[in-house]
Chains A and B, each alone.
Chain A
Amino acid sequence: MARKVQIVCASMGFAFVVVLFGGIIVADMLPPFSPSAGAEEVAAWYQENTNGIRFGMVLMMFGALMTAPWGALLAAHIKKVEGEFTPLTYTFLAATAAGCVAIFMPVMIFSAAAFRPERSAEITQTLNDMAWIPFIMNGPPAITQAIVLGAAILMDKRARPAFPRWAGYYNFWVGFGFLPACILLYFKSGPFAWDGVLSFWLAATVFGTWFITMSILMLRALPDREERTLTDDDELILAAQ
């Protein structure tokens, strides 16, 4: 059973990327709506794409929670490295929970914005800012996850470590990749704005490939198949003719 649970948890990384980016595309958020747009323009976008945004948000809402089993399996691997005393595991879990919220919360605000798109344009623009800013600026949970995971991978002194050592360094690099988005509050256009090359495109690429890479590595780290002990359920009802 343990092996199957691990396969499901690890594969959630693939499902997350498909559902999250699928939701973003359905909501017509790729490329992202420019932060330099005026209130009327923002309101018009919500009025024209109302149902696409609503459906995209339902997808992304479920996508947000797909990061939980993915993070839980990584936490379990970190715990194996740490042994009995496990502060890194707890830090990673806390950051994973924060990471769920970091996606979930802006999705809820996008949903509220698309609920009454005919309201006055300034209010829609405010909701739009309240959603986009945390959605792109939310680096710290993922940065914490990446650094803690990277450290745990490099600390793994077992004869058969779960992950290759390059994965540790890779995680440190991933953490760096999320940094440019942290200064988006200062910009309404250019590479550091929330639709910019560095804040959005670089961070989104690093984020998506990180989930996929760690999913593949977790699938490679699966335990060997164990012999099943037979139970009552395995009793034959009909023998072969």
Chain B
Amino acid sequence: MTVQLDAPAERASSPGGPRQRHLPGEEGLWVFIMGDLLMFGVFFGVLVVSRAKDVAVFAEAQAHLHVELGLLNTVLLLTGSWFVARGMQALKARSPRRTRWFVAALATAVAFASVKVLEYSLLISDGQTPADNDFFMYYFVFTGIHLAHLVIGAVFLTVLVTIARRPQLTVGRFRLAECGAVYWHMVDMLWLVLFPLLYVVR
């Protein structure tokens, strides 16, 4: 049995039917996504408020961060998101190259985590620890929570690889793949806010 996956196009062409918008993954997943964004929104708010109270300490501590490594990680995540987007297109099109997009995305996840661990060890060997001041407390805790999200995302990407490798694509597996892709884009997006707030803001 084959199922038409690009359902929106199909519905659009059906006579009389209104064009329906396709929500990636499933509705319920967005409860989690919005909830998580809300929680990180609170984190960002806490960070901005604490910074305003103690700008000098924050600016001094911020100078110890390795901006180039943060930028490298930003590029890695953006590239990873692009790989996942291309992978989803390839998955839908049943392209023979579909698996390698997800493997490439998984590689960016591993690279991000390695750079993060390198950054942590550079900071700690430089004498900067979470106990030093509020800035480093926030830096380690928030990037740590983000890293935990990224590790879960990497597990999801592994699932995407196994889905892509299978010769048959079912509706259920495609929905699961979409959930994984949406989650991965969220991990990327959270970093895109975290990076300027921690590394760049002056």
Contact = CB atoms under 8 A, between A and B. Distances in A.
Interface of A: 164-170, 172-173, 176-177, 179-180, 183, 186-187, 190-192, 197-198, 202
Interface stretch (B31-39, B104-112, B117-125): B31-39
A169 B35 CA distance: 10
A165 B131 CA distance: 41
A218 to B, nearest CB: 17
A198 B35 contact: no
B36 A198 contact: no
Interface in B118-151: 130-131, 134, 137, 141, 145
Interface string B14-36: 00000000000011111110011
B57 interface: no
B5 interface: no
Contact of A168 (B28, B43, B50): B28
Interface string B145-175: 1000000000000000000000000000000
Nearest to A201: B42
B32 A198 contact: no
Contact of B134 (A176, A177, A190, A198): A190
A172 B32 contact: yes
Interface string B50-84: 10000000000000000000000000000000000
Main secondary structure of the interface of A (DSSP, over half): helix
29 contacts: A165-B27, A166-B27, A166-B30, A166-B31, A168-B28, A169-B28, A169-B30, A169-B31, A169-B32, A170-B28, A170-B31, A170-B32, A172-B32, A173-B36, A176-B35, A176-B36, A176-B39, A177-B39, A179-B145, A183-B141, A186-B130, A187-B137, A190-B137, A191-B50, A192-B141, A197-B46, A198-B42, A198-B43, A202-B39
Contacts of B50: 190-191
A195 to B, nearest CB: 14
B141 A173 contact: no
B36 A186 contact: no
Main secondary structure of the interface of B (DSSP, over half): helix
B26 to A, nearest CB: 6
Contacts of B141: 180, 183, 192
A166 B36 contact: no
A177 B30 CA distance: 16
Nearest to A177: B39
B125 to A, nearest CB: 20
4 closest A-B pairs by CB: A166-B28, A169-B32, A173-B35, A165-B28
Nearest to B144: A183
B183 to A, nearest CB: 10
B137 A173 contact: no
Given A173-B36, A173-B39, A190-B134, 6 more contacts: A165-B27, A169-B28, A173-B32, A177-B35, A192-B137, A197-B42
A198 B145 CA distance: 13
A173 B27 CA distance: 15
B49 to A, nearest CB: 9
Contacts of B145: 179-180
B131 A191 contact: no
A191 B134 CA distance: 10
A188 to B, nearest CB: 11
A149 B28 CA distance: 15
Q: Which of B28, B30, B131, B137 has the most CB of A within 10 A?
A: B28
A176 B145 CA distance: 10
A179 B43 CA distance: 13
